[in-house]
Protein backbone atom coordinates (compact mmCIF):
# COMPACT_ATOMS: atom_id res chain seq x y z
CA UNK A 1 0.00 0.00 0.00
CA UNK A 2 1.35 3.41 -0.98
CA UNK A 3 0.34 6.95 -0.09
CA UNK A 4 1.91 9.84 -1.99
CA UNK A 5 4.29 7.35 -3.62
CA UNK A 6 5.62 6.37 -0.19
CA UNK A 7 5.11 3.08 1.66
CA UNK A 8 2.13 3.45 4.03
CA UNK A 9 2.03 0.01 5.64
CA UNK A 10 4.14 -3.05 6.34
CA UNK A 11 3.35 -6.62 7.19
CA UNK A 12 5.47 -7.88 10.07
CA UNK A 13 5.31 -10.88 12.36
CA UNK A 14 3.82 -10.55 15.85
CA UNK A 15 7.22 -10.80 17.56
CA UNK A 16 8.53 -7.84 15.56
CA UNK A 17 5.39 -5.81 16.26
CA UNK A 18 5.65 -6.53 20.00
CA UNK A 19 9.32 -5.52 19.98
CA UNK A 20 8.50 -2.26 18.21
CA UNK A 21 5.76 -1.52 20.74
CA UNK A 22 8.18 -2.26 23.58
CA UNK A 23 10.81 0.06 22.07
CA UNK A 24 8.21 2.81 21.64
CA UNK A 25 7.27 2.48 25.32
CA UNK A 26 10.95 2.70 26.30
CA UNK A 27 11.31 5.80 24.12
CA UNK A 28 8.36 7.44 25.88
CA UNK A 29 9.86 6.59 29.28
CA UNK A 30 13.23 7.99 28.24
CA UNK A 31 11.62 11.26 27.17
CA UNK A 32 9.90 11.59 30.55
CA UNK A 33 13.13 10.81 32.40
CA UNK A 34 14.99 13.43 30.33
CA UNK A 35 12.40 16.09 31.17
CA UNK A 36 12.50 15.18 34.88
CA UNK A 37 16.29 15.25 34.88
CA UNK A 38 16.42 18.64 33.14
CA UNK A 39 13.91 20.07 35.61
CA UNK A 40 15.88 18.68 38.54
CA UNK A 41 19.16 20.12 37.28
CA UNK A 42 17.70 23.56 36.61
CA UNK A 43 15.45 23.82 39.69
CA UNK A 44 16.35 26.84 41.81
CA UNK A 45 14.18 25.64 44.67
CA UNK A 46 12.14 28.84 44.58
CA UNK A 47 8.39 28.32 44.77
CA UNK A 48 5.47 30.72 44.26
CA UNK A 49 2.00 30.86 45.79
CA UNK A 50 -0.88 30.59 43.34
CA UNK A 51 -2.43 33.77 44.73
CA UNK A 52 0.80 35.74 44.14
CA UNK A 53 1.11 34.53 40.55
CA UNK A 54 -2.55 35.27 39.84
CA UNK A 55 -2.18 38.78 41.26
CA UNK A 56 0.97 39.37 39.18
CA UNK A 57 -0.96 38.56 36.00
CA UNK A 58 -4.15 40.32 37.06
CA UNK A 59 -6.15 37.12 37.36
CA UNK A 60 -8.89 36.90 39.98
CA UNK A 61 -9.28 33.48 41.53
CA UNK A 62 -12.81 32.32 42.35
CA UNK A 63 -13.35 31.23 45.93
All structural domains of the chain with their residue ranges: 12-56
Task: Return the pLDDT at 63.
Answer: 64
> What's residue 62's pLDDT?
86
Taking the C-alpha atoms of residue 54 and residue 60, their distance in angstroms, rounded to an integer, is 7
The DSSP-derived string for 15-42 is: HHHHHHHHHHHHHHHHHHHHHHHHHHHH
pLDDT, one tens digit for every residue, the chain (63 residues): 788 899 898 899 999 999 999 999 999 999 999 999 999 999 999 999 999 999 999 999 986
Q: Give the pLDDT score at 57.
A: 96
Amino acid sequence: MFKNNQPAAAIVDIKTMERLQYLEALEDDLKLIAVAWARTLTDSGERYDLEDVAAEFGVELDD
